[in-house]
Structure 1
Amino acid sequence: MAITSANQLELLQTAEAVAREKMIDPALVVEAMEDSLARAAKSRYGSEMDIRVSIDRKTGKATFTRVRTVVPEDELENYQAEMTVEDAKQYMDDPSVGDVYEEEVPPVELGRIAAQSAKQVILQRVREAERDRQYEEFKDRAGTIINGIVKREEYGNIIVDVGAGEAVLRRNEKIGRESYRNGDRIRAYVKDVRRETRGPQIFLSRTAPEFMAELFKMEVPEIYDGIIEIKAVARDPGSRAKIGVISYDSSIDPVGACVGMRGSRVQAVVNELQGEKIDIIPWNEDQATFLVNALQPAEVAKVVIDEDAQRIEVVVPDEQLSLAIGRRGQNVRLASQLTGLDIDIMTEEEESQRRQKEFEERTQLFMDSLDLDEFFAQLLVSEGFTNLDEVAYVELDELLVIDGVDEETAQELQTRAREYLEAQARAALERAQELGAEQSLIDFEGLTPQMVEALAKDGVKTLEDFATCADWELAGGWTSVDGQRVKDDGILEPFDVSLEEAQNMVMTARVMLGWVDPEDLVSSESEDEGDDGESAEEETA
């Protein structure tokens, strides 16, 4: 098939038709045609030749050009597409390296195979352009709600027609009891848009917490305007959800605004989510207050927060336990997701029993170690003393406030406590030495004999061993495994060594061993202080 004047205009007409159908730039289709014709020409003239084709955008005339580049003589490799400066003199005046010589060559006739190859090149380029257009259109729609029509189902996944492409609603992103048929309208959250070799992949979700937040934004104008903000969402898709909201206008009730007149606003969201029950909770900066709200409808008697462990203990009346936990733990699980804390729920009776047990254990400790009778030991516990160190090293006046304790008795108590602690330290030191702890570790400032014993039991027997420890290995910490917070026990955690203290001790050991230059530490600390100062100035400004 030769490209004659009769079909020159057809090239442009075809390009425009394809561009309209695929909604892409006609210039991209023309460029694809130029590439396909150039490939066909190379198969006719030789693959080593650099043949380029230019199609006139007005007349449709295709011009075939052979291009040769001037290169240094020692770099000449392809005689068909390159030539030396000497060879170029017969075609060009004063040629130099890098110059390009172009000469028009006769158009080629496209045989059946060449025409088929050209068609494949055009289709490939058109598909690529279509994919790029789809990706550019949808990449900015991630994080929004989109409407579409169910096209088909593949292995439980729903393929959705979203107008300019297809999106996938995976089966694990569907609300449990939902089922769809071809032609059904569907509304979903655009969770992710990825550029892949087979085209842009648009992933939808109806179970994402963000889907509920976006639905409320559509139904509640105050959220859309920014007067009310959704601070947290926790969902058990298709069953129940909790949403924390805050109002930045004191005259607007965030819960009432989200519920709407006679529940109209929240009901619209519930209907979209197949009857999912929604608890709307007022947000509070105070974690304890927010948690009490999040556990509604259960009543909370007391809350104890462990900020270091990100855990919280909630005490509820005996009759409220099942309500606080919820069916299959649903209520407390959603409250935990909403607050970002691990929650332990116990009844008032269980807490009372635990406190009584702690009281008895501390009483027994003082009876055994200080040789006291039960009544006197109970007095110490009642005054808030929890361990022997507090008794041994507290100010004498704090012991004198206990009924029946005079100065002589207080001094005797401290003497007994100190003697007991010293005996414990000597015994721990002997055990540590038996385990192989070296003197360098025993003499290290900040480590008690009991700490050295614990380290030796764990295989840390030298100062070098100690210097290689990570701070969390000593102080303990929390890590996330499969979305669950898991406790990492530290070697020195029983001795209440904080993460910062562990960092300082390890760094001191490294400096003593010569692994770290003290000047580097000083300079880094100065930089940190400088950063803090700048931050403070910015805040003041």
Structure 2
Amino acid sequence: MAITSANQLELLQTAEAVAREKMIDPSLVIEAMEESLARAAKSRYGSEMDIRVSIDRKTGKATFTRVRTVVEDDDLENYQAEMTVKQAKQYMADPQVGDQFVEEVPPVEMGRIAAQSAKQVILQKVREAERDRQYEEFKDRKGSIINGVVKREEYGNVIVDVGAGEAILRRNEKIGRESYRPNDRIRCYIKDVRREPRGPQIFLSRTAPEFMAELFKMEVPEIYDGIIEIKAVARDPGSRAKIAVVSYDNSIDPVGACVGMRGSRVQAVVNELQGEKIDIIPWSDDMPTFLVNALQPAEVSKVVLDEEAGKIEVVVPEEQLSLAIGRRGQNVRLASQLTGLDIDIMTEEEESARRQKEFEARTKLFIDTLDLDEFFAQLLVSEGFTSLEEVAYVDLDELLVIDGVDEDTAEELQARARDYLEAQAKAALENARSLGAEDSLIDFEGLTPQMVEALAKDGIKTLEDFATCADWELAGGWTTSNGERIKDEGILEPFDMSLEEAQNMVMSARIQLGWVDPAELETEEEVSEDAEGGPASVAGNEEAGA
């Protein structure tokens, strides 16, 4: 095949037809043609030559040129594509290193093999351009809803035609009882878009909580306008869901707006989700109040929040227990997902029994350690004293408010408590030394003798050992495995050490040992703050230390 005037316009027509079919820029097709023709020319003139082809965008004429670059004498390696300054003087008036000499060469005759190779180059370039266009089109649509048509099903995964390409709805992203046939229309959430060697991969989902949020945004104008905000969503796909909403306009009820007239708005979402029951609850800044709302329709008697541990205790009447837990624990599980807290539900009777047990244990502690009678020990517990440390180091005035306690009695109580604690500390220190604990660890600021003893029992006997510990090894944490939360016990957790305290102590040990330069640490913190636009706000993570 020769590039002649008879088929010059055909090149442009072919390029435009391919570009129109693949919805890409015609210039990309022409560039692919230029590259393919250049390869064919190199196979004819020699692969070492720098042959370039330019196709006129108006006439379709293909111009073949040979390019040679001027180089230093010592740098001459490719005689076909390079020449020295001396050689260049035969063709150029004042050649300089880096100049290029361009001369036109005759068009090539393309044989069958060359034509096939050129076709493959064009197809490859067009395919790459098509993939780039698809990725650019869909990368910004991640996190939105898309309508498509089911093409086929492969091993439980649904392949969806989304207009400019194909997307995949994986088996685990389908609502359980859904089934699809070819040409069925489907609405999905674009969960992820990835650029991969085989082309952009578009992953869809119908089980993601964000899918429900986007559906409500489509049905409720107030959400789209920002008057109402969806704060949290928790789903058991195909069965039940909870969605927390808040209104920034006091005249608009967020729950009522999402439900709609006679339930029209929420019903539209329910129908799309195959009958999934949806509880719409008002969001609150106050976590206990929010939890009470989240556990609806169950009634809650009392809520006890432990923010540091990320746990919350809920007390309900006996007759409300099964309703609060829900079928197979569904209600409490969704409420836990919504609030991000571990929820421990107990009845009023169970809570009363637990409180009584704690009361008896603290009473016994004061009787055994402070040599008090039962009545006086119970009096201390009733006034809110829970440990010997509180009795030993509290302001004297807090003991004097107890009925029957004068100044001498208060001082005696504190003296007994301090003597007992000092004896405990001395015994713990002796035991720690016998276990091999070194002075570097014993003298480290922040560690009590009992803590040193616990560390020594766990094989941590030097400051170097302590500095290699992770914060969760000391303070404990939670790990999620297969959807189940598993408790990681910390060595110093019995001493109420928090993760933040553990982090600070380990870092102090590393600085003291010279492993970390405090100046570098401050620089890193300043860079981090600048990058975030101010001090970073660290949210509690239930999987700390995982």
Q: In which range does the TM-score fall when normalised by the shorter chain? A: over 0.9
The answer for the alignment partner of 1:256 in structure 2 is 256
Shift of 1:12: 1.2
TM-score between the two structures when normalised by the length of structure 2: 0.92
Shift of 1:300: 0.7
| Stretch moving more, 160-169 or 289-298 | 160-169
| Residue 436 (structure 2) pairs with residue 431 (structure 1) | no
C-alpha change, 1:240 and 1:72, in structure 2 (3 Å) is same
The answer for the alignment partner of 2:46 in structure 1 is 46
The answer for the alignment partner of 2:540 in structure 1 is none
Q: Following the alignment from structure 1 to structure 2, what is the Cα–Cα distance between the partners of residues 521 and 198?
A: 44
| Residue 108 (structure 2) pairs with residue 129 (structure 1) | no
Q: Following the alignment from structure 2 to structure 1, what is the Cα–Cα distance between the partners of residues 170 and 410?
A: 72
The answer for the alignment partner of 1:538 in structure 2 is none
Shift of 1:14: 1.2
C-alpha change, 1:427 and 1:253, in structure 2 (3 Å) is same
Shift of 1:214: 0.8
Q: Following the alignment from structure 2 to structure 1, what is the Cα–Cα distance between the partners of residues 166 and 242?
A: 32
C-alpha change, 1:474 and 1:91, in structure 2 (3 Å) is same
The answer for the alignment partner of 1:388 in structure 2 is 388
Shift of 1:415: 3.0
The answer for the alignment partner of 1:108 in structure 2 is 108
C-alpha change, 1:434 and 1:134, in structure 2 (3 Å) is same
Provide Cα deviations, 1:165-206, integer angstroms capped at 9, x if missing partner.
Answer: 111111111111000101111111111111111111111111
The answer for the alignment partner of 1:323 in structure 2 is 323
Note the 1:120-199 alignment, pairs <5 A: 120-199=120-199
Note the 1:431-510 alignment, pairs <5 A: 431-478=431-478, 485-510=485-510
The answer for the alignment partner of 1:17 in structure 2 is 17
CA contact (8 A) 1:134 1:200 kept: yes
| Stretch moving more, 247-256 or 408-417 | 408-417
Shift of 1:441: 3.0
C-alpha change, 1:527 and 1:413, in structure 2 (3 Å) is farther
Shift of 1:236: 0.7
Note the 1:180-219 alignment, pairs <5 A: 180-219=180-219
| Stretch moving more, 492-501 or 272-281 | 492-501
The answer for the alignment partner of 1:398 in structure 2 is 398
| Residue 72 (structure 2) pairs with residue 72 (structure 1) | yes
Q: Following the alignment from structure 1 to structure 2, what is the Cα–Cα distance between the partners of residues 488 and 118?
A: 62
Shift of 1:312: 0.9
| Stretch moving more, 414-423 or 382-391 | 414-423
Provide Cα deviations, 1:286-336, integer angstroms capped at 9, x if missing partner.
Answer: 111111000000111111111111111111111111111111111111111
The answer for the alignment partner of 2:538 in structure 1 is none
The answer for the alignment partner of 2:368 in structure 1 is 368
The answer for the alignment partner of 1:119 in structure 2 is 119
Number of aligned positions between the proteins: 535
Shift of 1:93: 1.3
The answer for the alignment partner of 1:235 in structure 2 is 235
TM-score between the two structures when normalised by the length of structure 1: 0.93
Shift of 1:516: 5.6
Which residue identity lines up with residue 272 of structure 2 in the other structure? E
Provide Cα deviations, 1:240-293, integer angstroms capped at 9, x if missing partner.
Answer: 000010111100000000000000000000000000000001011111111100
Q: Following the alignment from structure 1 to structure 2, what is the Cα–Cα distance between the partners of residues 395 and 61?
A: 98
Q: Following the alignment from structure 1 to structure 2, what is the Cα–Cα distance between the partners of residues 34 and 532?
A: 48
Q: Following the alignment from structure 2 to structure 1, what is the Cα–Cα distance between the partners of residues 324 and 237?
A: 20
Which residue identity lines up with residue 176 of structure 1 in the other structure? G
CA contact (8 A) 1:313 1:345 kept: yes
Q: Following the alignment from structure 1 to structure 2, what is the Cα–Cα distance between the partners of residues 403 and 186?
A: 73
| Stretch moving more, 298-307 or 423-432 | 423-432
The answer for the alignment partner of 1:340 in structure 2 is 340
| Stretch moving more, 274-283 or 17-26 | 17-26
Q: Following the alignment from structure 1 to structure 2, what is the Cα–Cα distance between the partners of residues 509 and 158?
A: 55
Structure 1 unmatched runs, 5+: 536-541
C-alpha change, 1:500 and 1:128, in structure 2 (3 Å) is closer
Q: Following the alignment from structure 2 to structure 1, what is the Cα–Cα distance between the partners of residues 532 and 169?
A: 47
The answer for the alignment partner of 2:542 in structure 1 is none
Q: Following the alignment from structure 2 to structure 1, what is the Cα–Cα distance between the partners of residues 384 and 519?
A: 44
Shift of 1:211: 0.8
C-alpha change, 1:504 and 1:238, in structure 2 (3 Å) is closer
C-alpha change, 1:323 and 1:127, in structure 2 (3 Å) is same
Q: Following the alignment from structure 1 to structure 2, what is the Cα–Cα distance between the partners of residues 438 and 134?
A: 64
C-alpha change, 1:359 and 1:233, in structure 2 (3 Å) is same
C-alpha change, 1:25 and 1:473, in structure 2 (3 Å) is same
| Residue 393 (structure 2) pairs with residue 412 (structure 1) | no
Provide Cα deviations, 1:215-251, integer angstroms capped at 9, x if missing partner.
Answer: 1111111111111111111111100000010111100
SS at match of 2:6: helix
Q: Following the alignment from structure 1 to structure 2, what is the Cα–Cα distance between the partners of residues 182 and 531?
A: 49
C-alpha change, 1:189 and 1:513, in structure 2 (3 Å) is closer
SS at match of 1:74: helix
Provide Cα deviations, 1:96-142, integer angstroms capped at 9, x if missing partner.
Answer: 11111111111111111111111111111111111111112111111
C-alpha change, 1:529 and 1:105, in structure 2 (3 Å) is closer
Shift of 1:494: 1.8
CA contact (8 A) 2:308 2:498 kept: no
Which residue identity lines up with residue 124 of structure 1 in the other structure? Q
CA contact (8 A) 1:309 1:478 kept: no
Shift of 1:367: 1.6
Q: RMSD across aligned C-alpha pairs, in angstroms?
A: 2.6
The answer for the alignment partner of 1:539 in structure 2 is none
C-alpha change, 1:106 and 1:195, in structure 2 (3 Å) is same
Shift of 1:513: 4.5
Shift of 1:377: 1.8
Shift of 1:495: 2.0
The answer for the alignment partner of 2:8 in structure 1 is 8
Which residue identity lines up with residue 446 of structure 1 in the other structure? G
Shift of 1:499: 4.2
Shift of 1:368: 1.4
SS at match of 2:201: strand
Q: Following the alignment from structure 1 to structure 2, what is the Cα–Cα distance between the partners of residues 504 and 186?
A: 52
Q: Following the alignment from structure 1 to structure 2, what is the Cα–Cα distance between the partners of residues 529 and 57?
A: 53
Q: Following the alignment from structure 1 to structure 2, what is the Cα–Cα distance between the partners of residues 467 and 8?
A: 75
Which residue identity lines up with residue 242 of structure 2 in the other structure? K
Q: Following the alignment from structure 1 to structure 2, what is the Cα–Cα distance between the partners of residues 522 and 118?
A: 60
